[in-house]
Homo-oligomer: A and B are copies of this chain.
């Protein structure tokens, strides 16, 4: 294993961090901004800004060089010009520091011969001195539990995700996005060009990390497709891997080449890799988060059938369409369930079924609870999706109180055996509605319920989840 548990500890749980390339002022992303974010996030280890011209920076004592530090820093963050980097790697080694996050850009991603030479020198220096580098051209490690959060959501939220990314910006956004929905991150790493340690090294380490239950990857390219396939297939048997492949298309690949210097490869090859390794393939940030949430909060459903509780005829009709279109089923209810349904909602009469169009579920928690009970008894139902309507004027219900908290309490009390997931729509340009929707989604997510902003997005994420578990079961079945 390229990255040992001890290496992972240095990178993700450092007791001390030296920052090389910290100016005394400025607004650009760099050492100073990292230092200020460590302070803001309440990082509790020892921070050593390196600057020969400063006494202190942001109130923290500055040091002239690595050699003068009173201890060997667990992690060194380097944010100086690319040409100075190889010498700094040597300085780290002299001090005894072997774990470096290299923020600096300007290496092989530039596509120039100078950049390529600098990358070669960097790799050579690391090999010579036995130094492990994350980067260059990246945001590095992120771990909310250690308050190692110089970027992304601050404060971060600890949780079951392990994120590996060739894009710092995508990872910043992901951590913010998932944290807002109550879905936390154990470890995230922006690997950049991956010249020394790369996506595959972290995939291997995350696969063996007991605190990580679901892995998310943003990938533009890999040096060793065969190793990816083997690693992902093995890791995927233990925990789902949700992979967003950047540079799927010609235009994307062209941009990827200038972004991380990666050769993106042909989409047909990638599709084969995804399939053989049983990775969950997604195309956008939203799909990435939706699938991660389904994996983290839903688990393995007992069936691919969905019982849909919604309100409004057209909404129910299109909800049914959404699930079927994604390959799930919306099973007709058994005679027993239909009988129970008629007792529960006599007024629904002959139109009752699955999807169930019943506005009452938005306002009557007893009714909602009984319907969930009923659905749980259905053998063909593996997942219960409940739409939650935000009470408002356009629906002739401006004064109905929001029952999100009570809904969560009720569901927690009954300790159901089948997953209940939610869809809360607040799309558009209405700031009040958008804010309400976000707060309700956040509340469901923080309570551990998968939540989506539309039924169609729920359908797509749940279909991906079901396909993953189906294939996994096939892979685990011994061949006869």
Contacts and interface: CB of A to CB of B under 8 A. Distances in A.
A351 B246 contact: no
Given A325-B248, A453-B427, A353 B258 contact: yes
Interface in A153-199: 153-154, 165-170, 172-173, 175-178, 180-182
Interface stretch (A49-57, A124-132, A311-319): A311-319
Contacts of A112: 350
A220 B148 CA distance: 53
A218 B181 CA distance: 32
A283 B435 contact: no
Interface in A240-298: 244, 246-252, 254-256, 258-260, 283-286, 289
The contact size tier of chain A is: 35 or more
A178 B428 CA distance: 7
Given A321-B252, A396-B151, A167 B430 contact: no
Instruction: Determine the main DSSP class of A at the interface with B.
Output: helix
Given A181-B428, A439-B431, A453-B427, A394 B314 contact: no
Interface in A296-320: 311-318, 320
Contacts of A254: 320, 332, 353
Contact of A439 (B110, B180, B321, B429): B429
Interface in A340-356: 349-351, 353-355
A167 B314 contact: yes
Contacts of A320: 247, 249, 251-252, 254-255
A217 B252 CA distance: 35
A357 interface: yes
A324 B249 contact: yes
Contact of A251 (B33, B169, B355): B355
A437 interface: yes
A250 B437 CA distance: 31
A349 B429 contact: no
A104 interface: no
A249 B284 CA distance: 26
A330 interface: yes
Nearest to A176: B394
B315 A170 contact: yes
A3 interface: no
Given A429-B181, A431-B442, A316 B255 contact: yes
A152 interface: yes
Given A169-B314, A435-B435, A322 B396 contact: no
A441 interface: yes
Given A175-B394, A258-B351, A285 B454 contact: yes
Contact of A428 (B312, B321, B396, B441): B441
Contacts of A167: 312-315, 317
Given A154-B393, A456-B286, A251 B330 contact: yes
A177 to B, nearest CB: 5
Contact of A350 (B37, B111, B175, B321): B111
A425 to B, nearest CB: 8
Interface of A: 29, 33, 37, 109-112, 151-154, 165-170, 172-173, 175-178, 180-182, 218, 220, 244, 246-252, 254-256, 258-260, 283-286, 289, 311-318, 320-325, 329-330, 332, 349-351, 353-355, 357, 392-396, 425-439, 441-442, 445, 451, 453-456
- Nearest 4 interchain pairs by C-beta: A167-B314, A169-B312, A429-B442, A249-B324
28 contacts: A33-B396, A151-B394, A166-B314, A167-B315, A168-B312, A168-B313, A169-B311, A170-B318, A176-B392, A176-B394, A176-B428, A218-B314, A246-B321, A250-B324, A251-B324, A251-B355, A252-B324, A254-B320, A255-B313, A259-B316, A284-B456, A289-B428, A428-B441, A429-B441, A429-B442, A430-B438, A432-B435, A434-B435
